[in-house]
Amino acid sequence: MAGIGFELRKLLRKDSFFGMLQAYGYAGIISSGPWILSILGVMAVGLLSLSLKTQAVDVISFLVSITYLTAFSLISGGWLQLMLTRFIADRLFAEEADQILPNLIGALLVTTAGSFLIGMLFWPLFEGTSLTYRYLMVSTLIVLSDIWVLVIMMSGLRSYHKVLYAFALGYGSTIILSLILRHLGTEGLLAGFLFGQSIMMFWMLGLIVHEFPATTLCSFSFLDKNKVFYSLTAISVTYNLGVWADKFVFWFNPITSVTVIGPLRSSLIYDPPIFLAYLSIIPGMAVFLLRMEADFVDKCEAFYSAIREGKTLSSIRNLKYEMIETIRSSFFEIFKIQSITIIILLVSAHDVLQLFNISTNFQMLFSVDLVAVGIQVVLLSIFNVLFYLDKRLTVLFLALMFAVTNFLFTWLSLFFEPEFYGFGFASAIFVTVIVGFVLLNKVLAQLEYETFMLQK
């Protein structure tokens, strides 16, 4: 995240309203991630296609297909994200920047091959759909999986303009091309999405190649057990399973879902409100990234630098207290901004649902989801602090707790009235956050002891 932090601090140093607005906008785009932007892009394609008299069945099939592709690309292809992030950070710390691009190419090859095999594994399940549709599904799965890998590297670029241009080009192309090809039905919409995402993928790859020159073409050092932490892979997979667990429960329950295309099912009750609610996290995620990268990182680096330089215990403790105070103020600001966002959307929930052509009968579920995804921003903030303190097993425990409780509580909610839908996800994220705060407090209280007494 060094590139992001550098740019954010540079923008904030302008000490102007415009500079602050730029910093928050940049942080919001990067932190929200392309999967949040995908929701906006895909929603835009769907709404515009319907307004242009495209068959509703084709639009729904397209939306459901993209939703499944996003889920499976994050679960199956996301296993590499955190592990590669740590590997790249270690290479930068060791001043081995020439190793970054070759290992990125290696990671893309591994991700592409893995996504292709997964696509072929599910190929027989789509019997009855057109051959073109199946080819497009496999190709889009590969492209999305590769994009998750490239997004890691985009955070290292020192020009936020280039990052913004890449996202604008990618999602702008996706919308335009999907609308141009909409007359071909579901396959046309899907082809437009694939072409648009491919443009973004190759554009990002070009930016990264320019930023990180190398003397070798490809390397697989990122898989070397002596250089990587496989616990990060477990965290990636477990957390992504947790994020999608409640959706899978609703999708594969015959009472709450319907078959849309091939084996893909959708819950008309649960899906629209939850995906719309996820758009509300953009302000909270922007604050999260800005405060973490502009404030917390400096305090954290000062603390560990003092340890490496052999400073006195009292000065180390003072730096730790400053770090804790920064964490506390960051959480407070995240809570404040996200709460304001939630309150505004709760008050205007009826109008928001109508704006996106979603039935106002889902207002209660939408309200619950707004609160739940807001709490999820806090969970991600806890994860971020624990990662900086290198508490991977603690993060893995919390990710596993979230995955298990989200599946279990959501499954239990199906035995109650529809008014209780969404409370399973909300309860799971709330319980995980409470446990997360307890564990984070314990880690911070024992930080000096573990730093000095538990080293091998």
Per-residue pLDDT tens over the stretch 243-300: 999 999 999 999 999 999 989 999 988 988 888 888 888 787 777 777 776 677 777 7
175: left (phi over 0), alpha (psi -120 to 50) or beta: alpha
Q: Are residues 307 and 212 in the same domain?
A: no
User: Residue 21 pLDDT > 80, yes or no?
Assistant: no
Q: Are residues 363 and 440 in the same domain?
A: yes
User: Residue 160 pLDDT > 60, yes or no?
Assistant: no
Q: What is the pLDDT of residue 221?
A: 85
Q: CA–CA separation, 270 vs 256, rounded Å?
A: 8
Question: What CA dihedral angle connects 59, 61, 65 and 71, to 10 degrees?
Answer: 90
Instruction: Count the domains in the chain.
Output: 2
Q: What is the pLDDT of residue 404?
A: 97
Report yes or no on 244 lying in a domain: no
Segments forming the whole domain that contains residue 175: 2-223
* Mean pLDDT computed over every residue of the chain: 83
Report yes or no on 26 lying in a domain: yes
Task: Place 8 in a pLDDT band, splitting at 50, 70 and 90.
Answer: low
Query: Of 208, 223, 238, which residue sits at a domain end?
Result: 223
| H or E element that contains 136 | helix 131-154
Q: Please give the residue that has the higher pLDDT: either 96 or 373.
A: 373
User: Residue 157 pLDDT > 70, yes or no?
Assistant: no
Q: Are residues 117 and 41 in the same domain?
A: yes
Q: What is the pLDDT of residue 195?
A: 92
Task: Place 16 in a pLDDT band, splitting at 50, 70 and 90.
Answer: low
Q: Are residues 208 and 303 in the same domain?
A: no
Report yes or no on 414 lying in a domain: yes
Q: Could you tell me which residues are beta bridge partners of residue 103?
A: none
Average pLDDT over residues 159-182: 79
| Amino acid occupying residue 170 | G
Instruction: Measure CA of the first residue to CA of the last residue in the chain; give whole Å.
Output: 28
Most confident of 214-228, 376-390, 402-416: 402-416
Average pLDDT over residues 38-54: 73
Phi, psi of 256 (to 5 degrees): -105, 10
User: Residue 73 pLDDT > 50, yes or no?
Assistant: yes
Q: What is the pLDDT of residue 2?
A: 47
Q: CA–CA separation, 403 vs 398, rounded Å?
A: 9
Average pLDDT over residues 403-419: 92
What share of the chain in percent tops pLDDT 70?
A: 87
Q: CA–CA separation, 115 vs 109, rounded Å?
A: 10
Phi, psi of 175 (to 5 degrees): -65, -45
Q: Are residues 321 and 449 in the same domain?
A: yes
Dihedral sign for Cα atoms in the order 19, 328, 286, 44: negative
The contacts of residue 318 (CB under 8 Å, 6+ apart) are: none
270 DSSP 8-state letter: T
100 closest CA partner among 32, 149, 160, 165:
149
Is the separation of the CB atoms in 295 and 323 below 8 Å? no
Average pLDDT over residues 202-218: 84
Q: What is the pLDDT of residue 156?
A: 58
Q: Are residues 434 and 314 in the same domain?
A: yes
154 DSSP 8-state letter: H
Q: What is the pLDDT of residue 222?
A: 82
Report yes or no on 229 lying in a domain: no
Report yes or no on 419 lying in a domain: yes
Q: Are residues 283 and 198 in the same domain?
A: no
What share of the chain in percent tops pLDDT 90?
A: 32
Q: 3-state class of 423 per DSSP?
A: helix
Q: What is the pLDDT of residue 303?
A: 80
Is the separation of the CB atoms in 43 and 168 below 8 Å? no
Phi, psi of 259 (to 5 degrees): -75, 135
Q: Are residues 192 and 96 in the same domain?
A: yes
Is the separation of the CB atoms in 29 and 167 below 8 Å? yes
Average pLDDT over residues 111-127: 92
Q: Are residues 215 and 304 in the same domain?
A: no
Q: What is the pLDDT of residue 35?
A: 59
Report yes or no on 239 lying in a domain: no
User: Residue 1 pLDDT > 60, yes or no?
Assistant: no
Q: What angle do CA 100, 106, 107 make, to 5 degrees?
A: 85
Give the tens place of pLDDT for each residue, 336-372.
Answer: 888 998 999 999 988 888 887 788 888 899 999 999 9
Least confident range from 69-83, 121-135, 184-198: namely 69-83
Q: Are residues 130 and 217 in the same domain?
A: yes
Report yes or no on 249 lying in a domain: no
Task: Place 34 in a pLDDT band, splitting at 50, 70 and 90.
Answer: low
Report yes or no on 374 lying in a domain: yes
User: Residue 159 pLDDT > 60, yes or no?
Assistant: no
Q: Please give the residue that has the higher pLDDT: either 128 or 54.
A: 128
Average pLDDT over residues 3-8: 55
User: Residue 313 pLDDT > 90, yes or no?
Assistant: no
Q: What is the pLDDT of residue 290?
A: 73
Q: What is the pLDDT of residue 36?
A: 64
Least confident range from 146-155, 247-256, 379-388: namely 146-155
422: left (phi over 0), alpha (psi -120 to 50) or beta: left
Q: Are residues 146 and 58 in the same domain?
A: yes
Q: Are residues 411 and 301 in the same domain?
A: yes
Dihedral sign for Cα atoms in the order 310, 314, 318, 324: positive
The contacts of residue 194 (CB under 8 Å, 6+ apart) are: 136, 139, 140, 143
15: left (phi over 0), alpha (psi -120 to 50) or beta: left
33: left (phi over 0), alpha (psi -120 to 50) or beta: left
Taking the CA of residue 437 as centre, how many other CA atoms within 13 Å lie in the half-sphere pointing to its CB? 11
